Amino acid sequence: MKNRSIFICILFCTRFVSCVYDLDIPLTNNHPKCTSHEQIETTVYYPDDFVANLSISDLNDETVTLSAWACDTGESQCDSVIEVLWPGTYSYIKNGYGTKLITLSLDTNLMGIFSGMLIIRDSYNALSSLPYRVQKLFFEPFDTYPLSENYWKKYHQGETTTIGYHYVDKKLLFSFDEDDSTKLLSTGIISFFALSGDFHITIDFRLKDEMNDGFEIGFFVSTSSDTGKWDGDRAGIFIQGKQAQIRMECSSIEMQTYSRDLNLTSGELGISRQGQRLSYYYHDGNPLVSPESPISHTYVYDSVFVHLKMSVTDRTRNHHVSWNDFYITRGFLVF
């Protein structure tokens, strides 16, 4: 009887052990998966570069790699995809088997809309995807004074009589009061940074209501950072008051010009570059009126500086223009 009990015990243990250590059971790779987000959709303002902290679960791998299926259309759904590097960096807060924590960042100086699918891949080439749409912006509201010396410098250093601040509207103000001395007939600011590659920039402006003669304002780009007489090869939008008529002119290198008379005393101005083509936009701010079709010129230079300028032809009357809400929605900033 004792021998029978020992035999039954041995048989039971043998079956149990063979069940646990059965070498015929196939190994299964645990696929990586983002558990913190179903999608990434956010806006990042320069100089911030942080996009998101991701929690990634994967039991078989200590680390994963990130890449992207990018869309040129700005949408998260792609008709056709090309796998590229994530347009920034990622770093581990925590790695190891199980849950990994990853910080996702964008290139600090690169503005634009980045969208597509974030690809999370393990060492066995198993992957999962995460839709993303991230907009990176440079935004200067011009709602504080003095100007940030990190981004802007005046044409005339130390100038305080023609460049100031509208404390009621909270806007940057260029102004020329009535003065027969004609000591200063132009003023302006220029970006400390240059823009490289394709870009899109916009700004809002407003002229003094009764001002329709003896002035010119300019929103333009130039190859030179010189704030003096010579301002390089420039291209942009210029609004002039002459003989009681407001005239808008778009001009570029090689005598390319477009002009028309119009009643444009406030609104939004925009300049966009795609390859070697510059396009100009303007809108009077009326939501019921569609913006005019863009005007385009050739412009072959890469790195350019942004200018805001005002000139007057006489000092026998008051002139002023206010500026606010400057955006760079696409482009690379070079300091």
The per-residue pLDDT for range 117-169, each reduced to its tens digit, is 999 999 889 999 999 999 999 999 999 989 999 999 999 887 788 999 998 88
CB atoms within 10 A of CB 65: 14
How many angstroms separate the CA atoms of 148 and 140, rounded? 9
Length of the chain: 335
Q: Reduce the DSSP state of residue 14 to 3 states and report it.
A: helix
Q: What are phi and psi of 48, to 5 degrees?
A: -65, 150
* Higher per-residue confidence, 60 vs 148: 148
Element (H, E) at 9: helix 2-20
pLDDT tens-digit series, residues 268-314: 999 999 999 999 999 887 766 777 778 999 999 999 999 999 999 87
In this predicted structure, the answer to whether residue 15 has a pLDDT above a threshold of 60 is: no
Q: Reduce the DSSP state of residue 26 to 3 states and report it.
A: coil
Q: Reduce the DSSP state of residue 186 to 3 states and report it.
A: strand
Read off the pLDDT of each residue in 35-43 and give the average, rounded to a whole number.
Answer: 96
Distance of CA 9 to the CA centre of its chain: 73
DSSP assignments along 278-312, one per residue: EEEEEE-S-TTSPPPPPEEEE----SBEEEEEEEE
Lowest mean pLDDT among 57-71, 227-241, 256-270: 227-241
Residues pairing with 186 in the sheet: 311
pLDDT tens-digit series, residues 74-124: 444 555 567 788 889 999 999 889 899 999 999 999 999 999 999 999 988
Let me know: does 133 contact 40? Beta carbons within 8 Å: yes
DSSP assignments along 217-265, one per residue: EEEEEES----SS---SEEEEEEEEETTEEEEEEE-STT-EEEEE---S
Let me know: does 282 contact 269? Beta carbons within 8 Å: yes
Q: Reduce the DSSP state of residue 20 to 3 states and report it.
A: helix
Let me know: does 195 contact 328? Beta carbons within 8 Å: yes
How many angstroms separate the CA atoms of 49 and 228, rounded? 35
How many angstroms separate the CA atoms of 195 and 332, rounded? 6
